[in-house]
């Protein structure tokens, strides 16, 4: 709909429609009251709303000024221009109409040239507003895409190191505030360089993707977070997870990889792709440093590698599980 004409006088509505159609405007509709117009508007989808409203100032019940206030107070209609049609020459009426949200006015009797010019101007304004809004939405979409790309590892699709650092700090502060344990698993694919050397980097990339998927499959809570920490190393952050709970997730990861049964052509510990894991659990302090958790988990990962790989080592004790 291009235009919606709201006037309690059928004669006035028909006159406006006749003049506007003669001037090349199309898709016109009319309503005899604000209540009828509102029913029409509410029944329309957003992409079928009128581009301009022509509103009579003097109408029984809710007059044009009150109707414009109601119309402009609804976010769905706020950007639609309103042209007030009035037989009044009182300056106060015009000022009140503009305060209500009207963008222009036409005095009765309506002149064809003036009507065409003012309606055409309102339509151009609406087109410009729609174009600006579309550009803003596109900019917002592109910004969200860039934010996602900047926080995501391009190969595996999980978070990257930059996003890990950000989420770690957020979860550290949240767990500190609620006195909840925070568990971190540092996960390293065993003998990954040999895998690459034997099968090539394309197969190595496939391996990284499959391992990332297997780790995520083992997660138990929506808040569990995985990032590619670097190279063949992943970091799994498990908020509100006890040492026992973290160990169960680590064991589930090993089981998922066992079920995946991805052959490794040159591993010293298995015929399949395996991982070494270092687990650490701390209850953060608000004034503490989250790097302590990373260092503890990293030390446990080192112990797992030194102990022969394909195992889990925990910060809370020195035994391999």
- Enzyme catalytic residues: 232
Backbone angles phi, psi at 152, to 5 degrees: -120, 140
CA 193-197-198 angle, 5° bins = 120
CA 171-177-180 angle, 5° bins = 70
CA distance 274 to 261: 9
Counting beta carbons within 10 angstroms of the beta carbon of residue 62, is it exposed (0 to 12), middle (13 to 18) or buried (19 or more)?
middle
**Under the phi-then-psi rule, with left for phi > 0, alpha for psi from -120 to 50, and beta for the rest, what region is 204?**
alpha
Determine how many CB atoms are found less than 10 A away from the CB of residue 85.
Answer: 23
Which residue in this structure is represented by tokens 């409203």? 53
CA distance 243 to 182: 9
């Amino acid at each position: 709909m291009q235009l919606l004409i709201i006037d309690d006088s059928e004669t006035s509505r028909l006159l406006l429609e006749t003049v506007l159609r003669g001037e090349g405007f199309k898709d016109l509709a009319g309503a005899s009251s604000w209540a009828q117009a509102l029913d029409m508007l509410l029944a329309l989808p957003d992409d079928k709303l009128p581009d301009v409203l022509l509103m009579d100032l003097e109408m029984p019940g809710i007059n044009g000024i009150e109707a414009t206030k109601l119309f402009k107070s609804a976010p769905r209609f706020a950007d639609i221009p309103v042209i007030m049609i009035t037989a009044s020459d009182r300056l106060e009426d015009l000022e009140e109409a503009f305060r209500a949200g009207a963008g222009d006015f036409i005095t009765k009797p309506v002149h064809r040239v003036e009507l065409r010019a003012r309606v055409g101007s309102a339509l151009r304004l609406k087109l410009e507003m729609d174009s600006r809004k579309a550009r803003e939405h596109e900019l917002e979409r592109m910004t969200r895409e860039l934010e996602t790309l900047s926080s995501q590892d391009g190969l595996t699709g999980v978070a990257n190191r930059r996003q890990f650092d950000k989420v770690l700090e957020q979860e550290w502060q949240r767990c500190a505030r609620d006195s909840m344990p925070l568990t971190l698993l540092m996960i390293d694919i065993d003998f990954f360089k040999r895998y690459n050397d034997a099968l090539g980097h394309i197969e190595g990339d496939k391996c990284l993707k499959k391992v990332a998927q297997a780790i995520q499959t083992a997660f138990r809570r929506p808040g569990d977070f995985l990032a590619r920490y670097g190279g063949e190393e992943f970091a799994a952050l498990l908020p509100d997870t006890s040492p026992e709970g973290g160990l169960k997730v680590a064991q589930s990861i090993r089981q998922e990889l066992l079920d995946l049964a991805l052959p490794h052509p040159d591993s010293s510990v298995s015929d399949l792709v395996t991982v070494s894991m270092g687990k650490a659990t701390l209850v953060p302090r608000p004034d503490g440093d989250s790097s302590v958790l990373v260092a503890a988990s990293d030390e446990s990962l080192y112990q797992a590698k030194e102990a022969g790989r394909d195992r889990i080592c925990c910060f809370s004790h020195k035994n391999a599980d």
